[in-house]
Structure 1
Amino acid sequence: MSHAWMPTSPCGDGCLTPGAATVALPRRVWRIGAACAVVLLALAASPLLVLRGTREPLARLIFRSVLRAFGVRLVVHGGEEFRLAAHGRGALVVNNHVSWLDIVAVNALRPMRALAKREIASWPVLGGLVARGGSIFLDRERLSTLPGTMAELADALRAGSLVNVTPEGTTWCGLASGRFATAAFQAAIDGGVPVRPLALRYRLADGRETTQPAFIGPESLIDSLRRVARLRGLVLEVFVCEEIAPGRAADRRELAALAESAVRSALGTVHPPRRSRGRSRRLPAVAAG
């Protein structure tokens, strides 16, 4: 079942940029096999993830190993203070949403919990890792569960967790993008924590931006995994934007607009200003990719 409030994207196969260099079939098979091996080893080592001293280094190693398995080079711009920040300080970490690789990149940068759609738990390769990472799962087909999920998110933030949210609510090709929904930003306000925007961009080794890693249209996750495994010289850039401090925005709508503006500015894209709708309601449209 779907609802009018569920986010949708017009992006599809026609958005995929041509001209990307590819690797041979044996290399593609090896990449997918290596990624699956990393995940299986991670699941076997999952008891170590509950130990405070080993959790973050081990989780970061796992997600970086998944990127390496697929031949993806991670390039991070700025944000050293974020990567080295002390534990126990909660923050809502938001980013534009292009690919399932986004999840891997964010956790390779700094492992954290996530607000994720319920279906991700059943995904091959990533589902088990996301679930064991303490994700808060959102049932987007049952609007009645939204208040409880947002309360759980606020509690996690208040307790000192970093929680990653994709406010666009669904994946876009990267050249096109969606607006930031506001519900999760209310959780940041209620939890009294800052918002940290991240901007993600995919390009080829020659510097051209590419939409090939995008998880869009009716394709399955397996189809997307295969396409990413074909790519040669894929670079995933992460721009760590300035933190938005608690109290800087008057309400969740303004807070969402500030975060969205930071991401678009880092990527060099601009959206028209949001139209005023008067006073925000308690629970607006939700987003979890």
Structure 2
Amino acid sequence: MSGTWHRDEPPEPLRLSPLGWLRALGRGLVLAVLVFGCLALLLMVRLVERPLCGLHRPVTPFITQFVCRNAFRIMGIGFSTRGELMHTRGAVVANHSSWLDIFALNARKRIYFVSKAEVAGWPGIGWLARATGTVFIERDRKRAREHTDLFTTRLLAGHKLLFFPEGTSTDGRRVLPFKTTLFAAFFAPGLRAQMAIQPVTVIYHAPPGARADFYGWWGDMDFGPHLLKVLGAARQGSVEILYHPPVRVADFADRKALAAHVERVIRESHREALAP
């Protein structure tokens, strides 16, 4: 994990017409009913699922998928995917542009995010993250062994953990250099021989006439105004998810080689997708 990414050009300020505010209110209410209504359902199901299945979650991930797929319908944002899902044991690695990544990456594939520990305390988002099985880690090298043990337990239980190696979100127009620290966990003796990594590229296309970074969420941008901007937009753009062929961890000499390969795949596909 790393610090927040900034750039010289400031983000677009919130500007909504009276109709835009009404649109944001209407979409927001429907989205809130969907998210928190299904959260209540998920927690009730988890009361039965946890004692019967332990780490395994045979039912609740489908509730999460239902929420994420329909969230895009409510917001009016186009959603599409290309490529095949990985069915073997392993993890998913993706670029990070926005809070919308949570919906986009959960919409088709049942995954569990790896997130910085601070997120657990965020109102609303933290509750959702904990309920959906997010793995929280602290920015402390002294706890690296503890994190590796946690990843090993979850991965061997069949969970597809999702990492953002950039360590921060961007404006959606670039891919930052990948941090290699978390890749070390895949080379643990109990994981290396049986783990695969699937690179995934997340691409945002702005609404017609809007700035290219419309969906990006970075720097010191507050969540509330950005959410209102997205909900109040008269015309929406789209998000596209590219699933690349998985690679075997055992085929790489070390974490740096693995991280470099995954970064190259995601960076090149991202650049090609946004090229004029």
TM alignment of 1:119-130, pairs within 5 A: 119-130=118-129
Taking only the aligned residue pairs, the percentage that are identical comes to 24
| 2:132 equivalent to 1:133 | yes
Q: Which has the higher helix share?
A: 2
Distance 1:23 1:162 in 2: 41
Q: Which residue of 2 aligns with 1:44?
A: 40
Q: Which residue of 2 aligns with 1:182?
A: 180
CA RMSD after TM alignment:
2.9
Q: Which residue of 2 aligns with 1:241?
A: 244
Q: Which residue of 2 aligns with 1:153?
A: 151
| 2:113 equivalent to 1:114 | yes
Q: Which residue of 2 aligns with 1:267?
A: 270
Q: 1:221 to 1:176 in 2, by over 3 A?
A: same
Q: Which residue of 2 aligns with 1:213?
A: 215
Question: Deviation of residue 118 (structure 1)?
Answer: 1.6
Distance 2:187 2:199 in 1: 15
Distance 1:263 1:197 in 2: 7
Q: Which residue of 1 aligns with 2:255?
A: 252
Deviates more, 1:233-242 or 1:144-153: 144-153
Q: 1:181 to 1:115 in 2, by over 3 A?
A: same
Q: 1:224 to 1:122 in 2, by over 3 A?
A: farther
Question: Deviation of residue 23 (structure 1)?
Answer: 6.6
Q: 1:26 aligns with which of 22, 43, 51?
A: 22
Q: 1:124 to 1:69 in 2, by over 3 A?
A: farther
Provide the secondary structure at the position in 1 that maps to 2:59.
Answer: helix
Partner AA of 1:138 in structure 2: I
Question: Deviation of residue 254 (structure 1)?
Answer: 0.5
Q: Which residue of 2 aligns with 1:102?
A: 101
Question: Deviation of residue 40 (structure 1)?
Answer: 1.3
Q: 1:22 to 1:230 in 2, by over 3 A?
A: farther
**Which blocks of at least 5 consecutive residues in structure 2 are unaligned?**
none
CA contact (8 A) 2:75 2:230 kept: yes
Question: Deviation of residue 166 (structure 1)?
Answer: 0.4
TM-score by length of 1: 0.79
Render the CA deviation track for 1:207-241: whole Å, top value 9, x for unaligned. Answer: 98831111112122212212221332220111111
Q: Which residue of 1 aligns with 2:160?
A: 162
Question: Deviation of residue 61 (structure 1)?
Answer: 0.3
Q: Which residue of 2 aligns with 1:278?
A: none
Question: Deviation of residue 151 (structure 1)?
Answer: 2.6
CA contact (8 A) 1:91 1:162 kept: yes
Distance 2:69 2:170 in 1: 23
Q: 1:54 aligns with which of 42, 53, 59?
A: 59
Question: Deviation of residue 44 (structure 1)?
Answer: 1.2
Provide the secondary structure at the position in 1 that maps to 2:266.
Answer: helix
Render the CA deviation track for 1:131-176: whole Å, top value 9, x for unaligned. Answer: 1121110123x44333312331133223321001100000111223
CA contact (8 A) 2:4 2:218 kept: no
| 2:6 equivalent to 1:10 | yes
CA contact (8 A) 1:63 1:108 kept: yes
Q: 1:206 to 1:228 in 2, by over 3 A?
A: closer
Q: Which residue of 1 aligns with 2:225?
A: 223
Render the CA deviation track for 1:103-153: whole Å, top value 9, x for unaligned. Answer: 11111121211111122223344332221121110123x443333123311
Q: Which residue of 2 aligns with 1:284?
A: none
CA contact (8 A) 2:208 2:237 kept: no
Deviating above 4 A after TM superposition, structure 1's stretches of 4 or more consecutive aligned residues are 205-209
Distance 2:108 2:12 in 1: 26
CA contact (8 A) 2:206 2:214 kept: no
Deviates more, 1:50-59 or 1:214-223: 50-59
Provide the secondary structure at the position in 2 that maps to 1:225.
Answer: helix
CA contact (8 A) 2:174 2:271 kept: no
